[in-house]
Amino acid sequence: MIKLALFPGDGIGPEVSNEAVRILKFVFDVNRVSYEFEEELVGGASYDSYKKPITEKALKIAKESDAVLFGAVGGYKWESLPIELRPEKALLTLRYDLGLYANLRPAKVYDDLIDASPLKKDIVSGTDIMIVRELTGGIYFGQPRGIFDTGNGQKKGINTLAYTTEEIKRIAIVAFEIAKKRRKKVLSVDKANVLESTELWRETVAEVSKCYPGIELSNMYVDNCSMQLIRQPRSFDVIVTTNMFGDILSDEASMVAGSIGMLPSASLNGKKGMYEPIHGSAPDIVGQNKANPLATILSAAMMLRYSLDLDSLADKIEKAVENVIKKGFRTLDIYSSAPGTKASGTKEMGDAVITELKSIFK
């Protein structure tokens, strides 16, 4: 029996995760896989009911499940809460408490979606990048942190960027292992010309690379990387980087791919994983059947692959998504007026994926 935790969260989170759950149930049923979902509120929704963004109960459900499907958290309503109570804290607590140190964010350009990218076709065509972002360390979690009185009427805000060799080693290993199954290139991104913590990052990744003679390692400073991503996105294979640089570069990479509504993610600690679209809760389009569910559906596919050893089902979902795109189904974020385009809502997109899956399983 597969046990899945379901945390739809806020904003469009429930709408998009609903579609992903429909798809998961469909492929499990067709393949007679038994499963159960346990659902709980997280983020702002949890704050409204329980006065905290994540409860002990939700954490327990997450810990006892094989994998977590997460929608999105956040919204205008909760923006002025103290940082400890904000919806985002749910995400950070889950990442930290489950030890999900490896965040995989693939950014792949679908040929049929090339027009959705604001960049020129011949630049983005063929782009297929895997960003491996360190997720439980670095400036997001380093101590000391906080806002302190300086004593002379001023305040000082502090965050700490720290990495240990062990933290760097384990994320580097994930990146090299992934590169083995891809085009065998790892690019480590840092700011080693200025920051000691990333000087250690660079040295440690180089050390790990000695165990992977078949993989080509290169290094780039983050400022240069953000430029090269726009200039020649096709040249990238696997990018391994720190928590904050990965946060920023993955949003940038999503625009190369066309829409942030298309990009899935997996946050892993071995087989244990949490799966979520990289987009946020999009409060401006909540409840209007406008959100693109494909990022969450593709996250569900990653769940099958990385946590549940159901690779062939993952392949089928990915194929179905590709076909749906090919057939012209488009939510607002990827809409174009090209002939054959079918303007679709969240639900229609989910239906289209199920229709494709039906013919794939036939």
The β-bridge relationship of strands 128-134 and 142-149 is unpaired
Would you name the residues annotated as active-site residues? 140, 191, 223, 247, 251
Cβ proximity of 344 and 317 under 8 Å? no
> According to CB under 6 A, which one of 45, 91, 102, 172 is a site residue for ligand IPM?
91
Cβ proximity of 326 and 112 under 8 Å? yes
Closer residue to ligand IPM in complex, CB, 87/350: 87
Does the bond joining 144 to the residue before it have cis omega, within 30 degrees of 0? yes
Segment near ligand IPM (CB under 6 A), from 61-69, 85-93, 156-164, 305-313? 85-93
Q: What does 39 bind: Mg ion, ligand IPM, none (CB cut-off 5 to 8 Å by kind)?
A: none
CA dist 9 and 25 (Å) reads 20
**Residue of minimal Cβ distance to Mg ion:** 247
Chain positions 217 to 256 lying near ligand IPM, rule: CB under 6 A, are 247
**Could you tell me the CA-to-CA distances from 178 to 52, 91, 220, 322 in Å, in that order?**
37, 24, 19, 22
Q: What does 167 bind: Mg ion, ligand IPM, none (CB cut-off 5 to 8 Å by kind)?
A: none
Closer residue to ligand IPM in complex, CB, 190/247: 247
The helix, strand and coil proportions of the chain, stated in percent and rounded to the nearest 5, come to: 50, 20, 30
Residue with tokens 């400036």: 139
Chain centroid offset of residue 306 CA: 13
Residue 308 CB coordination number (10 Å): 20
**Residue of minimal Cβ distance to ligand IPM:** 88
How many amino acids of this chain bind ligand IPM (CB under 6 A)? 5
Q: Side-chain half-sphere of 337: how many Cα atoms within 13 Å?
A: 0
> According to CB under 5 A, which one of 15, 19, 40, 247 is a site residue for Mg ion?
247
Minimum CB–partner distance for residue 244 and ligand IPM (Å): 8
Minimum CB–partner distance for residue 91 and ligand IPM (Å): 5
Segment near ligand IPM (CB under 6 A), from 86-94, 162-170, 327-335, 348-356? 86-94
Q: What does 301 bind: ligand IPM, Mg ion, none (CB cut-off 5 to 8 Å by kind)?
A: none
CA dist 306 and 190 (Å) reads 27
Minimum CB–partner distance for residue 56 and ligand IPM (Å): 21
Minimum CB–partner distance for residue 20 and ligand IPM (Å): 17
Q: Side-chain half-sphere of 246: how many Cα atoms within 13 Å?
A: 31
Minimum CB–partner distance for residue 208 and ligand IPM (Å): 24
Site map for ligand IPM, 158-197, x if CB under 6 A? ----------------------------------------
List CB contacts of 38: < 8 A, sequence separation 6 or more. Answer: 3, 4, 5, 6, 61, 65
Instruction: Please give the biggest Cα pair distance in the chain.
Output: 73
Minimum CB–partner distance for residue 362 and ligand IPM (Å): 37
Chain positions 245 to 304 lying near ligand IPM, rule: CB under 6 A, are 247, 278
> According to CB under 6 A, which one of 38, 39, 66, 88 is a site residue for ligand IPM?
88
For residue 131, the cross-strand partners are 105, 239
Minimum CB–partner distance for residue 337 and ligand IPM (Å): 31
Report residue 171 as tokens.
Answer: 């994320």
What is the three-class DSSP state of 329? strand
Q: Is 134 in the site for ligand IPM (CB under 6 A)?
A: no
List CB contacts of 232: < 8 A, sequence separation 6 or more. Answer: 123
Q: Which residues bind ligand IPM (CB under 6 A)?
A: 88, 91-92, 247, 278
Q: Which residues bind Mg ion (CB under 5 A)?
A: 247
